[in-house]
Amino acid sequence: MASVLLIAAPSSGSGKTTITAGLAWLYRRQGKRVKVFKCGPDFLDPLMLGFASGAPVDNLDLWLVGEDLCRQMLAEAARDFDVILIESVMGLFDGEPSTADLAVKFGLPVLAVIDAGAMAQTFGALAFGLAHYRADLPFYGVLANKVAGERHAQMLQESAPAEHWMGWVGKVEPLPERHLGLALPEEIPDLAAKLDAVADALETQPIANLANSVQFTAPIASDIQPLLAGKRIAIARDSAFCFIYPANLTCLIALGAELQFFSPLAHEPLPECDALWLPGGYPELHAEKLASHPSIRAELAAHVAVGKVIWAECGGMLALCESLTLLDGSVAPMWGLLPAQAAMQTRLAALGAQSFDLGSGQIRGHTFHYSKLTTELMPVGYGSPCRLGSGGEALYQHGYIKASYIHAWFMSHPVATAALFGAV
């Protein structure tokens, strides 16, 4: 049975990811097997947390993932690991459903990380409010972040209930960020040293000695029929196409598909395959190199010419466009399979949970992008946003290409996912 901790905060920007990564690194240094989950539909935090924990990071979300799969993944993690860490999304009570809803549903002990850099005794009031705002919340404790020093830490500790004080961390260097979130782990050459610094700061605090456990009873896993048996699916995977949920790969394998990864950035050719998945990522940061791929345009054209499917999500869709206008105004030619032009912008264009149905069932997903698409293609449908007032993302079909800004969660409907990749 594993020790379990959900790391939350009053708001985004409090240092949750840095603390979660530091704890994962610390517990690994203690010789423990660590599994980390990320609440919500995040791609980038899981890459960082996966580096810190040494294991793939799955997502937990009561709407996107569903209660049964969340419970199953937690039960499997408790069986196979010594420590389970779960990083919240946004603030503890933000969203519908919120991280607090997840904590209550599964009995997950909550550690609140509070940015105490500009406060003293008010820290105690904030800690008290987080602990008592919801009576059924399994509150574990509070950790002060960005603390000025020992005297500051003493004032903070005195303001909080003794049983809730889990320690403090000074002003360690934050993990690098850019638009959409954290930088990729491979882009941070001294990442291990940064994590060592956070782990060193946590090692002397009460939180270093995590000793609790939660019992998870896994539901009976639903059978997934091998609708893609005998099919090979090529998947672009590199720094330009890195927004891949591990559970999506699990779903495709359960459907019977053989997965073949390749790197367009490394100018690797399109593998021999029956279908292609172009996931999201950062094509705008690598536009010139993607554009100079010597064979991809012809290979993609040959792929669809014989009736083979392409599913392109967000950044994968941008790569298929005729051009991509970058923030500096320069225009990069892209692969030209979609009669569309994309343009980056400084402001967020869309954010939120959405579902879509292309005729075989509803697939849940998420949208988050800083670009806009211009095309004369008529959408074949639109996503259904979870919240009123937000717009549904367009779904395009051009020959055997299906594309949208929505990042799909395949496990939400394996049958519809199989159809997405050409299963009859």
Q: What average pLDDT does this structure show over 338-343?
A: 98
Q: What average pLDDT does this structure show over 352-371?
A: 94
Rounded CA gap, 60 and 37, in Å?
A: 7
Q: pLDDT tens across 384-399, in order?
A: 986 655 679 999 999 9
Q: pLDDT tens across 30-61, in order?
A: 999 999 999 999 888 899 999 999 999 999 99
Q: pLDDT tens across 280-331, in order?
A: 999 999 999 999 999 999 999 999 999 999 999 999 999 999 999 999 999 9
Q: What average pLDDT does this structure show over 268-290?
A: 96
Catalytic residue among 273, 314, 321, 386: 314
Q: Is the pLDDT at 7 greater than 60, yes or no?
A: yes
Q: Is the pLDDT at 145 greater than 70, yes or no?
A: yes
Q: Is the pLDDT at 178 greater than 60, yes or no?
A: no
Q: What average pLDDT does this structure show over 350-362?
A: 93
Q: Are 218 and 71 in contact (CB under 8 A)?
A: yes
Rounded CA gap, 155 and 123, in Å?
A: 9
Task: Name all domains of the chain by residue range, CATH numbers in brackets.
Answer: 3-208 (3.40.50.300), 232-420 (3.40.50.880)
Confidence of residue 179 (pLDDT cuts 50, 70, 90): low
Q: What is the DSSP string of 309-327?
A: EEEEETHHHHHHSSEEE-T
314 is catalytic: yes
The predicted structure's pLDDT at residue 185: 77
Identify which of 262, 325, 260 has the alpha carbon closest to the alpha carbon of residue 291.
325
* Range list of β-strands (E), 237-308: 258-262, 275-278
Residue 93's Cβ-count burial label (10 Å; 0-12, 13-18, 19+) is middle
The predicted structure's pLDDT at residue 389: 58
The predicted structure's pLDDT at residue 351: 87
pTM: 0.92
Confidence of residue 220 (pLDDT cuts 50, 70, 90): confident
Q: What average pLDDT does this structure show over 414-420?
A: 97
